[in-house]
Structures are given as C-alpha cells and as structure tokens.
Structure 1
Amino acid sequence: MKITIVGRKVNLRDNFKELAEKKLSKFDRIFDEDAEATVTVTVERNRQTVEITIKQRGMIYRAEETTQEMNEALDHVVAALGKQIRRNKTKLERTKKMQPVELTDTYYDEPDEEYQLVRTKRFFVKVMTPEEAILQMNLLGHEFFMFRDDVSGEINVVYRRKDGDYGLLVPDIKA
C-alpha cells in the first residue's frame, strides 16, 4: 500500500509518520500494493484531527477523529477503519470477487451487518445552481439535496458537513 502523510498547519515529526505507517501496515494483507492511503493531520487550536482515506479499485474507506492528542486520534481512526473493513468484508468479496481475507484483530469482532432498504423515494430533479440547491436543502431541513447542475446538466448533490460548511458531490466518469 502506498502511504502519503500530509500535515496541515503542523510539521509532523518522523516518529508520528513511522507510527502511522506501522499501524497502516496491519491492512497490507487486506489491500493490494496499488492501494493508496492518505493520512491527513490538521491542528486547530488545541484540537488535532487525523483523517485516513484508503482507495483501492474504486472503493473508498475513510475515517476521521478529533482529539487533543494526535496519537490518540490515530489509534481511533485505525480502529474505525478496521471496523469498516470488517463490517463490509463479505459484501466486498461478493461484489469485487476479492480473495477471502482472514481478519483476526481485536476490533474485528463485530458480526456482519445486513443492509435493508426500507424506502424508495422518487422526485423530480430540478435544474439549479449549487447555491440554489443549498438554499432549498436548508428550507427543507435536510442534510443533503440532489439536483441537476444548470451548467453541466449532471446530477449533483450538496450536503452539510460536520463543520457546518457545505460540500458538493459531482460525478466523475474517470474513476
């Protein structure tokens, strides 16, 4: 797995980089050599956020944790990624025809979760700008809103982020 470590508003020490690489090496038996992991560390005031994103064959695993200690946040993020991988292991094997993986770490002990689709909702997708979509989303009190972009004509989604800002999801046919 290729690991990239990025520090935002902080210069990362070598011992943290080595610790991050060591903890991510647990996932080497699960992911191929072409998998890409990005560790992003952001420091704001007395809060330190560690975010890890692992991409492989179109699948994305992502976890983020904010604590006062960078190493503690790293531990929580690695544990959360392990849980995601464990939870989705059988589904991924079925859909991607991956080789079976033996997961034995302590935070992999959760049972497989079955997904149940309980509702399908259909609605007309209006043509609008992202700003209009954010306004409509806020008026409805939703966390996300799907619309057709007025410039590209593509289906896009605006969403409210944890930090209160907004995000825009745009389809990318290259992936």
Structure 2
Amino acid sequence: MIRCEIRGENIEVTDAIRNHIEEKVSKLERYFTNAPNNHAHVNIKTYNNKQAKVEITIPMKNLTLRAEEKHDDLYAAVDLNVDKLERQIRKHKTKINRKFREKNPEQDFLAAAENAEMRENGNNGDDDDIAIVRSKKFQLKPMDSEEAVLQMNMLGHDFFVFNDRETEGTSIVYKRNDGKYGLIETN
C-alpha cells in the first residue's frame, strides 16, 4: 500500500479528506511492484478566495512523480492530481519498456500487448513524443540576479539564464506562480 503523509496548511485534514486522498492515491498501486515501500507526500493549502492547492509527490529510487493543482473544489483537485500522476507513470513505463525492447528485440510481443492496452484506454501514445520546436543560441552575459530579473521582465519571459558575477557559474531566475522570483544556481 502507498502510505500517504498528508499535511494541511490553513485547513484541518478531516477523516473525509484523508480517506478520499488515500482511496485515490491507492489506485496508483497497480503500477508499482514494490508499492509497500512507497510514500506519497500530500500538501493541501487553502487560500482566502476559497481555492485549494493540492500537491502530491511520490519519491522513488530513480524517479520523482509530482503533480500540483489549484481548484475551487479540494476533492476535484485531488482527482486531477491523481490523473496527472497516472499519465506520468504510464509515460515513464512506456519509455522504460521501449528501452528494454531495444536491448531485447525478442520482447516485441510485449509491445503489441502494451499498445493494445493503450488503445483500449483511449491513449494513443502521442504524449510520449517530445518534440523540440525551437532552438536558440545566445551569449551568457555576466550580471547579478537583480539585473537578470530586470532583463527577464523587459523581455516578457518567465525565466532568464545568465552568468552569475558572484559565483561565476550559470544561473537561472524565474517567475514563480505566486508572482515572486526564484533563483537556480549551478555548481
């Protein structure tokens, strides 16, 4: 069973909320072979406008599954998050199986069964293709993070890559969902 660690911010986690989350997250168990060792970290936050934000994170050995959803209905946000996590799991399993088949061509019969299952579920596999539609090259200019934020805002972008004057490494500033800014520094 996937154990849920539920934390509420500005909301009391009632038994009804806990049961709904545990029931929905437990549906993900069918995708795991080692479900007893998995934990799901669930954060619930409510805002003054009665909106709820639900974050579900499932850390695993080689992969971290994470979904976040804001909605007026807390239960709907949980349902949407579980749907997102299910898509992430299917996408990851498809990639793993594809790599496995490339190494072992005699396993092609498994691919046919998997594709039939995807068609039955209404998933044509299009979300597995990652297409880069645009590529850009540019010089990284040395600047501090405040200057990078100004450049980002001037360009109307959500993020900006720059050479940090202080650390002499590549850094990224980005605009957060709450309207504030974040900084990612590389080593």
TM-score range, shorter chain: 0.7 to 0.9
- Which position in structure 1 is the counterpart of 2:147? 132
Q: Identity over the aligned pairs, expressed in percent? A: 36
2:42 corresponds to which residue?
Answer: 39
Q: For residues 118 and 64 of structure 1, do their structure 2 counterparts lie closer, same or farther at Cα, with a shift above 3 Å needed?
A: same
Q: TM-score, normalised by structure 2?
A: 0.73
**1:56 and 2:71 are equivalent in the alignment:** no
C-alpha offsets along residues 153-172 of structure 1, whole Å, 9 cap, x if unaligned?
33222222233222233448
Supply the distance in 2 between the matched residues of 1:111 and 1:153 (Cα, whole angstroms).
Answer: 46
Q: Which residue of 2 aligns with 1:18?
A: 19
1:163 to 168, 174, 178: 178
Instruction: Give the Cα–Cα distance (whole angstroms) in 2 for the partners of residues 152 and 131 of structure 1.
Output: 14
CA deviation string 1:44-98 (max 9, x = no partner): 121111111222234333222222221121111111222233344322444699x
Letter in 2 for 1:111: N
Structure 2 counterpart of 1:110: 123
Equivalent residue letter for 2:30: R
Distance (Å, rounded) in 1 between the aligned partners of 2:39 and 2:171: 26
The separation in 1 between residues aligned to 2:186 and 2:140, in whole angstroms, is 15
- Higher helix proportion (structure 1 or 2): 2
**Structure 2: 5+ residue stretches without partners:** 102-109
Residue 119 of structure 2 corresponds to residue 119 of structure 1: no
Shift of 1:13: 0.9
For 1:149 and 1:95, the matched residues in 2 are separated by: 38
Return the index of the structure with the highest Cα Rg: 2
Q: Do the aligned partners of residues 56 and 41 (structure 1) sit closer, same or farther apart at CA in structure 2, a change above 3 Å counting?
A: same
For residue 82 of structure 1, give the secondary structure of its aligned residue in structure 2.
helix
Unmatched segments (≥5 aa) in structure 1 = none
CA RMSD of aligned residues (A): 3.0
Stretch moving more, 162-171 or 62-71: 162-171
Task: Tell me, in whole angstroms, the C-alpha distance in 2 between the residues paired with 1:170 and 1:4.
Answer: 30
Query: C-alpha separation between the residues in 1 aligned to 2:150 and 2:100?
Result: 38
Q: What secondary structure, in the 3-state scheme, does the structure 2 residue paired with 1:20 have?
A: helix
- Specify the alignment match of 2:77 in structure 1: 73
Q: Distance in 2 between matches of 1:130 and 1:8?
A: 31
Could you list the per-position Cα deviations for residues 110-164 of structure 1 after superposition, in whole angstroms to 9, with x for gaps in the alignment?
2212112233322222233322221111111111111233333332222222332
1:54–1:62: 8 Å Cα contact kept in structure 2?
yes
